[in-house]
Homo-oligomer: A and B are copies of this chain.
Amino acid sequence: MGLIVQKFGGTSVGNIEKIKHIATRVIEEAAQGNEVVVVVSAMGKTTDELVRMANEISNTPSKREMDMLLSTGEQVTISILTMALLEKGYEAVSFTGWQAGIQAESIHGNARILDIDTNRVCEQLSAGKIVVVAGFQGVDTSGEIMTLGRGGSDTTAVALAAALKAKRCDIYTDVTGVYTTDPRFVKSARKLQSISYDEMLELANLGAGVLHPRAVEFAKNYGIPLVVRSSIEQEQGTIIEEEVTMEENLIVRGIAFEDSITRVSIFGLTGRLTSLSTIFTTLARQHLNVDIIIQSITDTGTTNLTFSIKTKDVREVLNVLESNKKELQFERIETESELAKVSIVGSGMVSNPGVAAEMFAILADAGIQVKMVSTSEIKVSTVIPDKDMVQAVETLHVQFQLDERMVVKA
């Protein structure tokens, strides 16, 4: 018994039939005597369709009006799901973001949740109702509708779980849990029973794509156990929490990877140090994400700078660099594409300093050249040739014994 928050994403609520199915998943929890709050996204392609309509009017539609437009998507889903619950004989009520008391920053299209006034939700839970809340949206202090940006519905669910002191927040998705690595590429990838917030954060940031990093951070800050599980399959998912059981306490818990990476090297920098911050600030402002950064001083006193970017951003990055050439005072730029990033993640690394060295040895044994390296307390990232990516992941997966545990079954 307790309060559970469930979140169903866009593909889980893709059509009326799927919504009817979701209703049964909601009722399963309610029938066990739990109080249930459900957070849903817009149905399937609804958001794309609304964006298409806006683009027929303008190439640069007002962000405020986009929020007004897009927030209707979740409002449709909450009413349809609530009707489905009522039809099955369960008391239920839907709330938009503003009705659910979700107070957000005044940043259209990318607001963060600031606070939640849970009065209305609590009142309905006390009355024995399932409460269905629109994800992805909130309202600012002037009563303006704000959307939360990508992964916003995950954040809504976790924030509601925190505000309502839920015992668990279940994120229903189209995968059955968090895997040691991407099972589409590595056959022996297996589902993890549990993973820590920090490990999940590293994996999420590395593009594992199951959960939005902001939602994981929120859960970590408020100590809400998160479960990633399938909206279709009944099997048990992966629990994300602070303390991960010893049985699962592998040194390396997951391997993330990403292709289409380009290395950019700037040679013979003689500009002032402030020009470095200028360049990264400028790139950030253009939403050009720079990942691994390596700086080295040469014998002649000039600086060489290397960083990795997404290959699709190469042209824009080079434009920004060239237009700042005068201030930066560099000799030449070199780029290398067809690279990939492969990272191992695991909180066990903190107390095992040899893990990075072991990774390099494994890659060297496989004849894979490491072009760049970056390490954090629970992660080692390497940049290697694109063509070697899958082999690297498979080899690391075996060598770090990620394939040896039994697959966790419900």
Q: Which of B64, B84, B120, B145 contacts A57 (CB 8 A)?
A: B84
B79 x A66 contact (CB < 8 A): yes
- State the oligomeric state as a number of copies: 2
The smallest beta-carbon distance between A151 and chain B, in angstroms, is 23
Q: Does A54 contact B (CB under 8 A)?
A: yes
Q: Which segment of A69-77, A219-227, A275-283 sits at the interface? A: A69-77
A203 to B145 alpha-carbon distance, docked (Å): 41
Q: State which residues 20-78 of A face B: CB under 8 Å.
A: 20, 50, 53-54, 56-58, 61-62, 64-66, 68-69, 71-72, 75-76, 78
Q: Which of A86-94, A287-295, A323-331 lies at the binding interface?
A: A86-94
Q: Which of B58, B69, B83, B96 contacts A58 (CB under 8 A)?
A: B83
The reply on A382 being an interface residue by CB < 8 A is no
**Is A78 a contact of B68 with CB atoms below 8 Å?**
yes
The residue in A65, A72, A75 that gathers the most chain B C-beta atoms within 10 A of its C-beta is A65
Number of interface residues of A (CB under 8 A): 36
Nearest residue (CB) in B for A62 is B86
Minimum CB–CB distance from A72 to chain B (whole Å) comes to: 4
Asked if residues B72 and A75 are in contact (CB atoms below 8 Å), the reply is yes
Query: Cα distance A79–B145 when bound, in Å?
Result: 12
Cβ contacts under 8 Å, A79 to chain B = 54, 65-66, 68-69
A:80-112 near B, CB below 8 Å: 80, 82-84, 86-87, 93-94, 96, 98-99
Q: Is A143 an interface residue (CB 8 A)?
A: yes
Q: Is A364 an interface residue (CB 8 A)?
A: no
Q: Is the CB of B87 within 8 A of A68?
A: no
Asked if A16 lies at the interface with its beta carbon under 8 angstroms from chain B, I say: yes
Leading 6 A-B pairs by shortest Cβ distance: A69-B79, A72-B72, A68-B79, A65-B79, A58-B87, A57-B83
Give 10 CB contacts A-B under 8 Å. A54-B80, A57-B84, A62-B86, A65-B80, A65-B86, A68-B75, A68-B78, A68-B94, A69-B76, A71-B75
18 further A-B contacts with Cβ under 8 Å, apart from A53-B76, A65-B82, A72-B76, are A54-B79, A54-B80, A54-B83, A57-B80, A57-B83, A58-B83, A58-B86, A58-B87, A61-B83, A62-B86, A64-B93, A65-B79, A68-B82, A69-B80, A72-B72, A72-B75, A98-B98, A98-B143
